Amino acid sequence: MQNKYFAQLAALSILWGATFLFTRVATPELGPSLTAAGRIGLGAATLALIMTFTRHRWPWEHWRALTVLAALSIAGPHFLFAWSSQYLPAGYSAVLSVTSVMFGTFTSAWLREDTLTRSKVLGCIAGFAGVALVVQLGPMRPTTELVAAAMIAICGSALSGSSAPLLKRATQKMEPLAITAAMHVLALAIMLPAALWTLPQAHFTPAAVASVAIMGIFTSGLAYWQYMRIVQQVSPVAALSSTFMATISGIVWGHLVLDEEFTGTTYLGGLLVLSATVLVTGFNPWRRPMPPVEPPKP
């Protein structure tokens, strides 16, 4: 991976780490369906405006593949993590989100979009260990709700991670902006019936609405577009490594916003996560950059 893509993934991770906070704020008031649909809808609107101003063509001839991608990478994960956040502490959600790297690593190898090397496997193990240290997982009573929420979060990670090689393939046929915009429109269509069904029970507090707006415009709209541009240039597993950094970012946001305390394990876990990112991405600041892949014309 070229160093500039590593830096871009790190910047995106700062934004995505904040979604742990925003989801925890919005979901209790709006419900998981409306939180996910609102986030997706605002992302779709933002990207549609950019598509209009830049005169990009919508890739509806690929609507079947885009619908699958919308369900796997956007609608499914957003809803499942919003639902699980009602019962899981933020630290547990952070750890479970990292499992998407594992699913992405093995799915990419299975579909021959990436190679399963020893360094990538070691990177996955180091990343899981580092995140567990950072959030300081403690014993919790294994209630039915807790176990169900954990399984739901893992399912969200499985969908997100497994879609990574498919996203990579899509970028070889379509332009990243067009893919991102179309996926968000289709994901909104998937989530809209459930969101409308639960609309009467929602409480539109200023904090919840602001949280959804920030997630929709920035983390789902603009950030996902940039992520797809990176996916076009790097391997699926390297792109997924941002999950490690996003989890650490979420812990830092918690410290800054919620005044959560840092401990020695926080620093040790952070070092492990950074090491994992280097192993998975192959980051090397002294390596000479390769020429970029030419993107398809809109």
Measured between alpha carbons, how far is 62 from 251 in angstroms, rounded to an integer? 38
Cβ neighbours of residue 150 closer than 8 Å, sequence gap 6 or more: 84, 88, 92, 96
Is the Cβ–Cβ distance between 128 and 154 less than 8 Å? no
Percent of the chain with pLDDT over 90: 37
Cβ count within 10 A of residue 95: 21
Q: What is the pLDDT of residues 78-137, one digit of tens each?
A: 999 999 888 877 666 776 787 787 788 888 888 887 777 787 778 777 777 776 665 555
* Residue spans of alpha helices (H) in 55-175: 63-70, 76-84, 90-97, 99-110, 118-135, 144-162, 164-171
Q: Are the beta carbons of 116 and 256 closer than 8 angstroms?
A: no
Instruction: State pLDDT tens for residues 182-222.
Output: 999 999 999 999 999 999 999 999 999 999 999 999 988 99
Entry pTM: 0.82
